[in-house]
Amino acid sequence: MKYFPPLICLFLLLSSCVSENPVPHKISDYQLIPIPQNIKAGAGYFQLNPTTSLTFDQQNEEIAYSANYLKDYLQNNNQIQLAQSSKSGNQISLAIDPASGPEEAYTLTITQKGILIKGASGQGLFRGTISLIQLITQQSGQENLVEVPCVHIEDAPAFSYRGMHLDVGRHFFPVSFIKKYIDLLAFYKMNRFHWHLTEDQGWRIEIKQYPKLQEIAAYRNETLIGHYSDQPHQFDGQKYGGYYTQEEVKEVVQYAKERFITIIPEIELPGHSRAALAAYPELGCTGATYDVATKWGVFLEVYCPKEETFEFLQNVLSEVMALFPSKYIHIGGDECPKEQWKNSAFCQDLIKKEGLKDEHELQSYFIKRIENFLNSKGRQIIGWDEILEGGLAPNATVMSWRGESGGIEAAKQGHDVIMTPTSHCYFDYYQSDHPDEPLAIGGFLPLEKVYGYHPIPDELNAEEAKHILGAQGNVWTEYMKTSQQVEYMAFPRALALAEVTWSGKDKKDFQGFCSRLAIHLRWLQNKGVNPANPLYDVKTTVKNSSGSIHLQFSNQAQDGIIRYKNSEMASSDDPAFTEDLTIDKSGTWTGQTFVNGEAVGKPQSIQFDWHQGAGAKLEIKNQPANKYGAGGKEALVNGVLGSNDRYGDKEWLGFEGKDFEAIIDLGKKTEVNSVVFRFYHGPGQWIYAPNKIKITLSDSDDPPNVWQEKIINKKTRKAMEVKVEVDSQEGQYLHILVPNFGIIPEGAQGAGHGAWLFVDEVRVL
């Protein structure tokens, strides 16, 4: 053999590795996210090594994008350099076949002799290339050698719009991170990047015709410290800001194009415009000067709908359109207070002149003016669902964020919709109820809830459902100062949404997803990404039924055991959790996951505060909102207090614009001295504690004639406790009526909407 040329020796060695009777694979061997529509398991492996070549049509730019991406990946990660070749043998072939399915469809065939990826278009070919790369990342192999499992995949997305958003107005991130973010979206077959470029707190894109946007609007004098709800507000005293030059924007747009991701820029109007008004105050309604906002929230300062403003915005959007080829331009349209318009003589005259009903129709007039301009340039607008108010612009696409109702209304009107409701798609919400989670805006959106989302509401018929283009995850960065924080909040929830929008409703398998996710989390960490890892974190579930309270520990991992202890246990080995624990007294219980005897993931502790109403039967008149009712009504009498700073855990129940009315059946005549209520007060999140409480203790479940009333003094923010001494101290039925605060006042966040009322444990003492 020593006389054979080295290449022939290598060929013979590799040929001998191809088994004549290869072992068949299982479907679970292909750890792909999102899961493909159809997978046919093969047998054996294709050997990717230094002799592997790549064949493709070099004259086709779109094929070249996939070829170059694959070559760069293998060179950088596996030290394998693919050469262009038309010869047969150990080869990867890329091709486009328009007849093979919808635009993003692809087939991936891996045999022991070669790999063929066929896309219905350049997009489809790239999605197939990503599937191949995902399979490669999961194989350890020797240096310069990867064995890729044989398989045949036929795949296409369930939804045409699969997006992620990033707010760079509140916190600014460098081009290097924007590219990294785009790479991560591409790796999970997302195809839209919504770049939120302007805000009250900073303008982030260079506009050459208006240099003050770079000089003034891009920088704020200081930034809020802590949460918006913390009082009094504290600031860091440090100037903060930055912007992307037009050359940097072009670079990012090209980078995304080569990964078949369309960037949708957002230029906010008519609200969320205080930074722009700081640079050009003449565009406002008051004649005052402004500063770039230094805290979060909604501000009264908005664009005035005069010709000077429209000229400014058209010039800005002309420069934006020159940079972004996207069909869509996002114009915001959300959270626009009307107070300055109401007090403006110009605006009131304009309302009369145009025959408008009110300021809501004035906003619609504003949006339609911008839409007409963009339509004349061959573009279309996307706006948040507030653009429905006052009449929807004729060709607008709606992003439904305040729930699904806006999207449902728009689809019924024949408008296209992208679903991005706070309940399932806001990745600035807490993803865990562990106390060491980093500060977030509020809410609670765990991985399993994202995965459980389906973008098409049941209320739509088949024709209306066609207008639901897909869904998008939103990453608002008020509380994300660094790129590492963005990664922690966005991933792996973005992976769950990627599977929701690509694989569709019929392919849902959360346990299977978690099994695949374990491998992908390791890959992300190895690539320098900082994802959350919830798989081994212990979760607690409290069940309150038939007068008994039970505690369950669980996690999302496929291995390991959970051990538990409580505050009264001896220090001996903690027992393994095997069945629900019955709780009948106060105490603290803690669970921890162990793998091979080592503690992994975050432990979880839960404290029970026993009282006379714990485990009692409870009936409520108005049901909590679906997104804030995870614990069910029984959570109000299960002996567990909700978080002091987070209203989105399983213990808080949220009522949108509704009263809280309940009857607690104590089971028998009981002596009661007091009732302790807990409410959440966070006006920045549209949450208002009530002004009063009414209670009655009686022997009958009939509605009471006389109420005992307690007036509430709201001095604190976040969780607040209200104790009501009971006049009639003996009875079986405790009647409760807590009126909602009502309509949020003008000038406050959420003005004009019904306030949220959040209620926690009702303790009967």
| Model pLDDT, residue 6 | 35
Q: How many helices (H) and strands (E) does the chain have?
A: 18, 39
Q: Which amino acid is at 712?
A: I
126 phi/psi in degrees, rounded to 5: -65, -40
CA distance 318 to 207: 10
Look at residue 319 and give its three-state secondary structure: helix
How far the first Cα of the chain sits from its last, in Å, is 90
Cis-peptide into 492, omega within 30 deg: yes
Q: Which residues of the chain have pLDDT under 70?
A: 1-20, 86-88, 140-142, 546, 570-572, 715
How buried is residue 395: exposed, middle or buried, by Cβ count under 10 Å (0-12/13-18/19+)? middle
Burial 281-294 (b: 16+ CB within 10 A, else e): eebbbeeeebebbb
**How many CA atoms lie within 13 Å of 216's alpha carbon, on the beta-carbon side?**
16
> Distance from CA of residue 450 to its chain's centroid?
8
Q: Read off the tokens for 25.
A: 């694979």
For the chain, give every domain's residue range.
Answer: 6-155, 161-506, 536-608, 611-765
Q: Read off the tokens for 678.
A: 């807990």
DSSP 171-202: S---HHHHHHHHHHHHHTT--EEEEE-EETTE
- For the 536-608 domain, the top CATH level (class) is mainly beta
| Model pLDDT, residue 140 | 66
Look at residue 117 and give its three-state secondary structure: strand
Q: What is the dihedral of CA 473, 435, 294, 300, to 10 degrees?
A: 60
Sorted by sequence, the CB contacts under 8 Å of residue 598 that are 6+ apart come out as: none
Task: List strand residue ranges (DSSP E) for 596-745, in order.
Answer: 598-608, 617-620, 653-656, 660-671, 674-681, 692-698, 708-711, 718-725, 730-738
Look at residue 25 and give its three-state secondary structure: coil
Which neighbouring-strand residues pair with 400? Answer: 419
Q: Write the secondary structure of 332-388 as one string of H (helix), E (strand) and C (coil).
A: ECCCCCCHHHHCCHHHHHHHHHCCCCCHHHHHHHHHHHHHHHHHHCCCEEEEEHHHH
CA distance 301 to 336: 9
> 420, 399 in Cβ contact below 8 A?
yes
CA distance 678 to 687: 13
Cα 480 to Cα 24, 130, 199, 238, 324: the distances in Å are 46, 29, 15, 16, 26
CA distance 251 to 266: 18
Q: Read off the tokens for 493.
A: 């929830």
Task: List strand residue ranges (DSSP E) for 61-175, in order.
Answer: 83-84, 91-96, 106-110, 114-119, 146-155, 161-167
CA distance 524 to 180: 12
CA distance 528 to 438: 19
Query: Residue 757: enclosing H or E segment and its boundaries?
Result: strand 756-759
CA distance 760 to 653: 6
611-765 under CATH 3.40.50.300, yes or no: no
Q: Which amino acid is at 483?
A: S
| pTM assigned to the model | 0.90
6-155 topology per CATH: Chitobiase; domain 2 (3.30.379)
Sign for the CA dihedral angle at 632, 633, 634, 637 comes to: positive
* Number of neighbouring beta carbons within 10 Å of residue 182: 22
Cα 558 to Cα 368, 448, 593: the distances in Å are 53, 15, 11
| Model pLDDT, residue 167 | 98
> Distance from CA of residue 308 to its chain's centroid?
37
- For the 161-506 domain, the top CATH level (class) is alpha beta
For the chain, give the number of residues: 765
DSSP 549-589: EEEEEE-S-SS-EEEEEETTS-SSPPPBP-SPEEE-S-EEE
DSSP 374-432: HHHTT-EEEEEGGGGTT---TT-EEEE-SSSHHHHHHHHTT--EEE--HHHHBTTEES-
Closest among 510, 509, 411, 515 to 455, alpha carbons compared: 411
Query: Residue 758: enclosing H or E segment and its boundaries?
Result: strand 756-759
Q: pLDDT tens-digit profile of 136-153?
A: 998 865 677 899 999 999
Closest among 333, 384, 400 to 362, alpha carbons compared: 333
**How many CA atoms lie within 13 Å of 548's alpha carbon, on the beta-carbon side?**
6
Look at residue 126 and give its three-state secondary structure: helix
> Which 8-state DSSP code applies to residue 217?
I
Q: How do strand 756-759 and strand 653-656 relate by DSSP bridges?
A: antiparallel
The angle formed by the CA atoms of residues 750, 756 and 760, to the nearest 5 degrees, is 150
CA distance 664 to 620: 9
Look at residue 607 and give its three-state secondary structure: strand
Closest among 550, 531, 580, 316 to 431, alpha carbons compared: 531
